[in-house]
Amino acid sequence: MPKGKKAKGKKDIQPKRDLTRFVKWPRYIRLQRQRAILYKRLKVPPAINQFTQALDRQTATQLLKLAHKYRPETKQEKKQRLLARAEKKAAGKGDVPTKRPPVLRAGVNTVTTLVENKKAQLVVIAHDVDPIELVVFLPALCRKMGVPYCIIKGKGQAGAAGP
């Protein structure tokens, strides 16, 4: 076939197009995109909007370092503590119960109970809890009970600090 001629009935090859708009995206991606659009288009209630103001990175790092010191004791640490107590008892020095070190508490129900009883000293709330209704009441409860609270970016970070 001579150069520049096409076979009869043949068309040009179509150029490659970006088809990302037509991809069936995973459900979690669709949800996060829809949520972002809703936040842009609607007026967000103040109770929910306060979760956009989180601690800055430097303060959050200091908070997490502090929280790391109050992690619950591991099984090995508990075993050592109880072993030392048993050795004292065997030596005949009397059985004195060892004080458990102060630790962080996690979980919405636990934290809510502690705040209601004014036992909590600081409440750390993650900004990206889904559904947000689980924790949206906590700042108001903390304010009412006079318990300091802070909002931190990322539930992964908040979870890493706790038990």
Angle at 114 between CA 71 and CA 156, to 5 degrees: 45
Lowest-confidence segment of 6-20, 32-46, 107-121, 140-154 by average pLDDT = 6-20
pLDDT in tens, 65-112: 998 888 888 899 889 988 988 888 888 877 777 777 788 998 999 999
Count of other CB atoms within 10 angstroms of residue 136 = 16
In whole angstroms, give the CA distance from residue 158 to residue 67: 9
Q: What is the pLDDT of residue 157?
A: 76
| Structural Rg of the chain based on CA atoms | 28
Which three-class secondary structure state does DSSP give residue 43?
Answer: coil
Closest to 158 in 3D by CA, of 145, 26, 49, 138? 138
Q: Are 112 and 123 spatial neighbours (Cβ–Cβ below 8 Å)? A: no
How many residues are there in the chain? 163
Q: Please, what sign has the CA dihedral across residues 54, 57, 63, 65?
A: positive
| Partners of 149 in beta bridges | 123
pLDDT tens digits for range 113-124:
999 999 999 999
The single residue listed with the structure tokens 């809703």 is 38
Angle between helices 108-116 and 138-145 (to 10 degrees): 20
What is the C-alpha separation between 135 and 30, in angstroms, rounded? 23
Residue 116 pairs in a beta bridge with: none
Domains of the chain (ranges plus CATH)?
Answer: 20-161 (3.30.1330.30)
pLDDT in tens, 51-65: 999 999 999 999 999
State the average pLDDT for the chain.
88
